[in-house]
Amino acid sequence: MTSDAALLESAIPAIKRARGRPRKTVDERDDGNRRQALLLAAAQLFRRKGFAATTTRDIAAAADMQSGSPFYHFKSKDALLYAVMEEGMRSALTRQRAAAQAPGYAALEPAQQLRTLITVHFDVLLGPGSDFVPVMLYEARSLPPRQHKALSELIDEYESLWLPVLSALHDRGELRAPVRLARLLILGALNWAVQWFDPQKGASLQELTDAAISLFIKEF
pLDDT at residue 141 is higher than 60: yes
Domains of the chain: 1-74 (1.10.10.60), 77-220 (1.10.357.10)
pTM attached to this predicted model? 0.80
Predicted confidence at residue 128, as pLDDT, reads: 86
- The letter for the amino acid at 63 is A
pLDDT at residue 117 is higher than 80: yes
Mean pLDDT of 183-211: 90
Predicted confidence at residue 219, as pLDDT, reads: 64
Predicted confidence at residue 67, as pLDDT, reads: 83
pLDDT at residue 92 is higher than 60: yes
Predicted confidence at residue 126, as pLDDT, reads: 93
Are 96 and 120 within 8 A, CB to CB? yes
Mean pLDDT of 171-196: 94
pLDDT in tens, 19-53: 444 444 444 445 557 889 999 999 999 999 999 99
Nearest to 171 by CA among 120, 85, 111: 111
| Residue 71 pLDDT level (bands cut at 50, 70, 90) | confident
pLDDT at residue 174 is higher than 60: yes
Mean pLDDT of 155-167: 95
Mean pLDDT of 116-130: 93
pLDDT at residue 133 is higher than 60: yes
| Exposure b/e, 99-129, CB count within 10 A at least 16 = b | bbeeeeeeeeebbebbbbbbbbbbbbbbeee
CA distance 89 to 183: 17
The percentage of the chain sitting over the pLDDT mark of 70, rounded to a whole number, equals 85
Give the SS3 label for residue 25: coil
